[in-house]
């Protein structure tokens, strides 16, 4: 086991852009957002072309990226800077430990790149590629935005994304995995699987998104949210369930709560983690639909 863990740790690659970001921030702090964006582009992120390309691709063009940052990110950057730095330090302090724990749980080597940076904020896809290699993209502004700046939140986020990365590689790679996640039922299964791996890696009952109190409150709304997911899934429109900004029946990150129930159910299956990660897509869809229908049925009882 020790040899396996050491083998994993030798494969960790880190792109840490924060020292360059802080140099940029000290120069441009308090300026007009348009000027701040120009500085961000030319003096900071251009030093990391692989991160810039990923941001432009994710936001579907430089113009859209610019608009989001000028309107939503840069005006509040000074207010978030303490949390951004705190999240950065917590990642550096906990990454090696969480990665070592993951090596004891996940069946295969991941060889990931961890990219730490500040850009356009919260993103749906944390797992992507850098020069064809799998990577975990951690936008510290996105963490500050949702207040994930405690040790528990950071450790959970790292474990969750390592589980997602393992799932993606088991499914044939990051790009194929993203196409699979376009299906709402596969995406919810993926959420549950990632929470299951987070639980196994950290030995905690709840995902970093959840608390015992929030789960208890959610239990009263399970049927309505399950019905809503089924309805929207048929239209291919479930983005609000995964958003920190939008609510479903008064619940933000509603998919995380559904994922918690999926995680518990998957954990009860007499199938090992590797088999769950490679469960055929038709079986994944069947599993997700059946569990959602079971949850929705409670509205009639």
Has residue 178 got a pLDDT over 60?
A: yes
Has residue 67 got a pLDDT over 60?
A: yes
How do residues 246-287 score in pLDDT, each as one tens digit? Answer: 889 988 889 999 999 999 898 887 789 999 999 999 999 999
Burial readout 154-193 (b: 16 or more C-beta within 10 A, e: otherwise): bbbbbbbbbbbbbbbbbbeebeebbebbebbbbbbbbbbb
Q: Tokens 């609510």 identify what position?
A: 247
Predicted confidence at residue 123, as pLDDT, reads 87
Bridge partner residues of 129 (DSSP): 134
Predicted confidence at residue 10, as pLDDT, reads 53
Query: DSSP letter at 16?
Result: E
Q: How far apart are CA 278 and CA 263, in angstroms?
A: 16
Q: Is 136 helix (H, G, I), strand (E, B) or coil?
A: strand
Q: How far apart are CA 247 and CA 35, in angstroms?
A: 33
Q: Is the model more confident about 212 or about 210? A: 210
Q: How far apart are CA 257 and CA 123, in angstroms?
A: 19
Task: Give the pair of three-digit tokens for residue 292.
Answer: 């959602």
Closest CA to 195 of 137, 273, 84: 273
Q: How far apart are CA 162 and CA 156, in angstroms?
A: 10
Q: What residues does each domain of the chain span?
A: 1-176, 181-301
Has residue 2 got a pLDDT over 60?
A: no
How do residues 95-145 score in pLDDT, each as one tens digit? Answer: 999 999 999 999 877 888 999 999 999 988 899 998 888 999 999 999 999
Predicted confidence at residue 111, as pLDDT, reads 82
Confidence of residue 6 (pLDDT cuts 50, 70, 90): very low
């Amino acid at each position: 086991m020790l040899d396996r863990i050491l083998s994993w740790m030798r494969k960790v690659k880190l792109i840490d852009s924060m020292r360059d970001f802080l140099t940029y921030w000290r120069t441009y702090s308090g300026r007009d957002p348009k000027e701040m964006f120009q500085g961000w582009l030319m003096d900071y992120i251009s030093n990391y072309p692989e991160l810039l390309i990923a941001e432009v691709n994710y936001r579907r063009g430089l113009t859209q990226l610019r608009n989001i940052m000028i309107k939503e990110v840069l005006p509040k950057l000074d207010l978030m800077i303490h949390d951004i730095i705190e999240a950065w330090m917590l990642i550096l302090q906990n990454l090696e430990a969480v990665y070592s724990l993951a090596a004891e749980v996940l069946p295969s080597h991941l060889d990931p790149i961890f990219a730490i940076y500040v850009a356009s904020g919260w993103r749906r896809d944390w797992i992507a590629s850098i020069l064809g290699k799998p990577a975990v993209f951690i936008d510290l502004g996105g963490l500050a935005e949702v207040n994930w700046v405690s040790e528990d939140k950071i450790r959970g986020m790292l474990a969750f994304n390592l589980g997602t990365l393992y799932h993606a590689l088991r499914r044939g790679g990051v790009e194929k995995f993203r196409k699979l996640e376009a299906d709402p039922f596969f995406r919810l299964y993926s959420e549950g699987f990632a929470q299951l791996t987070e639980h196994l890696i950290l030995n905690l009952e709840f995902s970093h998104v959840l608390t015992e109190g929030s789960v208890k409150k959610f239990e009263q709304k399970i049927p309505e949210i399950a019905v809503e997911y089924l309805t929207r899934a048929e239209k291919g429109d479930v983005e609000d369930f995964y958003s920190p900004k939008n609510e479903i029946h008064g619940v933000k990150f509603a998919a995380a709560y559904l994922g918690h129930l999926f995680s518990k159910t998957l954990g009860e299956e007499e199938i090992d983690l590797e088999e769950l990660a490679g469960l055929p897509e038709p079986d994944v869809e069947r599993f997700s639909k059946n569990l959602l229908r079971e949850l929705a049925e409670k509205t009639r009882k």
